[in-house]
Amino acid sequence: MALRRIVLIGAGNVATHLGLAFLNKGLIIEQVYSRTALSANSLAAKLHAVPVIRSEEIMPGADLYIISVSDDAITEIVKKINFGESPVVHTSGTVPMDIFKQSAPAYGVFYPLQTFSKDREIDFSTVPVLIEASDPQLERMLADLGNLISARVQVCDSEKRKIIHLAAVFACNFSNFMYTLSEEILSSQQLSFDLLRPLILETAGKVMRQNPRDAQTGPAIRNDRSVMETHLQLLAGDPEKHEIYKILSKPISKLVNKENHGG
Amino acid sequence: MALRRIVLIGAGNVATHLGLAFLNKGLIIEQVYSRTALSANSLAAKLHAVPVIRSEEIMPGADLYIISVSDDAITEIVKKINFGESPVVHTSGTVPMDIFKQSAPAYGVFYPLQTFSKDREIDFSTVPVLIEASDPQLERMLADLGNLISARVQVCDSEKRKIIHLAAVFACNFSNFMYTLSEEILSSQQLSFDLLRPLILETAGKVMRQNPRDAQTGPAIRNDRSVMETHLQLLAGDPEKHEIYKILSKPISKLVNKENHGG
């Protein structure tokens, strides 16, 4: 049985981008549920779906229910929905699949490994989609669904997915925070963040082929103590950045580097 | 007087990329100096220049000497060269311009703000080039030289350049180290870093327009304590990553975020 009719529970960035991607591939989003009327209405309008703000109004008999709300809210919303004979998945990196065990006959996970923003389009074809299912039939269904929008669908169990999500926090959330700290350093001297944008893009671009360990540059890996001392002095008035600078430079200086680098 | 004939002191990544960019614009690289014969020969061959490994053989009377060696080595090499009436610049982010005060009649800085790798081409037109000069005539000459290869040449004094270089350490060196930590987490479970590459590129791509503070996502800024607890438990056997996770999550959780994000 081909999957055609989807109910989306949640109206955040992941729900929005998934919904649009599915719509583009000819699937039907029947309903969009959100506790907030504004969110439900706005996403439902984009997806030609019916907005729903009361969980009792979620329709029975969809081909698939996709729950895309914050991790903490999943358990609560699951209790309120009668899935009947239909399968249900969530889109979380961390929540185990078993959270659905008591609630649905077939259940799984459909986790797109990407950072989604309100106003940025995503090329879904390159986004890894990690799937997991309680039975082989649903696994096939989720693989087919994933293959509609992405060329990188993989089966991945809950334990591995948790590890990947942790790694993603370092690669995405923490690297973005490094950008934030650099922006703060610049703006404290009335300097524009624009100065660093080409550098940031190239730093990410380098590891598209290279291993990041081999791409490491800077004073710490060169063990350039005079530069590091200068930097720590510049940060003397900012204990938070001072500590972060020290704590990150130490392990970097222990790496062995293959690049012969001047910056 | 138009600048035509350059002597390059140094044969690392910055010297290589600058030399190639200048050659492409019709300038003449007369000599390439490096203490290592292999490096001198290899870069000189690329630049149709004469390789030099003894500082006494560095020719007099070039239009410009560009010193692109590690910060610590600048002072030493400067002592050994007779610049005559010719101007000299270095390409360092941190070293003050005054290092040349006793050694040359005109001196300055030509700092391309980018991370350079051996085997990656750079689109120099987008690279900020920060220049500084001991007199207006050299400043004009360096501005002209910069404008040959980049659309983003700016005059910047040594104090500001030092701040910008510090910010670049966070934006480039430390964010790359976050990639390294994520790679280690994945490889410890036989998972491929390929999984994170689209995420890393999009994370950098987002801040090309947005302020990084507004682009912050993840469990810390959502104050999702159960996810953070799970992550810290997963890192219990790795004190270094455990500490970094805690120290970075704390200030992130104090940020106020404009994104309503699900991942």
Look at residues A20, A182, A117 and name the one whose alpha carbon lies nearest to residue B206. Answer: A117
Residue B162 has pLDDT above 90, yes or no: yes
Mean pLDDT calculated for residue range B114-140: 94
Instruction: Provide, rounded to the nearest whole percent, the portion of chain B with pLDDT above 70.
Output: 97
DSSP secondary structure string, A93-150? SSS-GGGGTTT-SSEEEEEE-S---TT----GGGS-EEEEESSHHHHHHHHHHHHHH-
Q: How far apart are CA B138 and CA B108, in angstroms?
A: 8
Whole-number pLDDT of residue A132 = 98
* pLDDT tens digits for range B21-62: 999 999 999 999 999 999 999 999 999 999 999 999 999 999
CA distance A138 to chain B (A): 23
- Tell me the C-alpha to C-alpha distance, in Å, between residue A102 and each of A79, A81, A83, A106, B223: 9, 12, 11, 10, 28
Look up the ipTM and state it.
0.94
pLDDT (mean) for B202-226 = 94
For residue A63, what pLDDT is reported? 97
* Residue A208 to residue B201, Cβ atoms within 8 A: yes
pTM to 2 decimal places: 0.93
Work out the minimum CA distance from A3 to partner chain B, whole angstroms: 24
Q: Which residues of A touch B261 (CB under 8 A)?
A: 12-13, 115-117
- Containing A232, the helix (H) or strand (E) segment is helix A225-234
Residues 6+ apart with CB under 8 A from B63: B1, B3, B4, B5, B6, B86, B87
Residues B79-104, mean pLDDT to the nearest whole number: 96
Q: Which residues of A touch B189 (CB under 8 A)?
A: 160, 163
Answer whether A69 sits within 8 Å of B262, measured CB to CB. yes
pLDDT at B175: 98
In chain B, which residues have their Cβ closer than 8 Å to the Cβ of A182? 167-168, 170-171, 212
Query: Least CA distance to B249: which residue of chain A?
Result: A174
Chain A residue numbers touching B126 (CB-CB < 8 A):
198
With an 8 Å Cβ cutoff, are A72 and B180 in contact? Answer: no
Q: pLDDT tens digits for A154-210?
A: 999 999 999 999 999 999 999 999 999 999 999 999 999 999 999 999 999 999 999
- Residue A1 pLDDT class (50, 70, 90 cuts): low
Mean pLDDT over A206-222 rounds to 94
Among residues of chain B, what percentage have pLDDT more than 90? 90
- CA-CA distance, B102 to B106, in Å (whole number)? 10
**pLDDT above 80 for B7:** yes
Contact B200, A169 (CB under 8 A): no
Highest mean pLDDT among A20-29, A219-228, B112-121: A20-29
**Interface test with chain B among A36, A92, A157, A202, by most B beta carbons within 10 Å:** A202
The whole-number pLDDT of residue B119 equals: 83
Predicted confidence (pLDDT) at residue A260 exceeds the cutoff of 90: no
More confidently predicted of B134 and A222: B134
Q: Are A92 and A109 in contact (CB under 8 A)?
A: yes
Q: Give the pLDDT of residue A2.
A: 75
Q: What is the pLDDT of chain A when averaged over all its residues?
A: 94
The answer to whether the CB atoms of A116 and B263 lie below 8 A apart is: yes
pLDDT confidence tier of residue B261, bands split at 50, 70 and 90: very low
Query: For testing the chain B interface, which of A32, A35, A69, A166 should be mutated: the one with the most B CBs within 10 Å?
Result: A166
pLDDT at A55 over 60: yes
Confidence of residue B262 (pLDDT cuts 50, 70, 90): very low
Quick one: pLDDT band at residue B1, thresholds 50, 70, 90?
low
Q: What is the C-alpha separation between A111 and A127, in angstroms, rounded?
A: 10
Nearest-Cα residue of chain A relative to residue B226: A72
Is pLDDT of A261 > 70?
no
pLDDT value for A263 = 41
The tens digit of pLDDT for each residue in A58-69 reads 999 999 999 999
- Crossing angle between the packed helical segments A239-254 and A175-187, to the nearest 10 degrees: 130
| Model confidence at A46: pLDDT above 70 | yes
| Facing B201 at nearest CB: one of A128, A204, A255 | A204
pLDDT of residue B257: 58
Residue B14 is nearest to which of A166, A235, A263, comparing CB atoms?
Answer: A263
Give me the mean pLDDT over the A141-157 stretch: 97
Q: Which residues are CB-neighbours of A253 under 8 A, at least 6 positions away?
A: A220, A221, A223
The conformation of residue A21, written as its DSSP 8-state character, comes to H
Average pLDDT, chain B: 94
Q: What CA–CA distance (Å, rounded) separates A79 from B253?
A: 29
With CA atoms as reference, the chain A residue closest to B92 would be A263
A172, A196, A230, A233: which to substitute to probe chain B, counting the most B Cβ within 10 Å? A172
Edge-to-edge strand ranges of the sheet holding A129-133:
A50-52, A28-33, A5-9, A64-67, A88-90, A107-112, A129-133, A153-155
* Measured CA distances, B254 to B74, B222, B250 (Å): 42, 10, 7
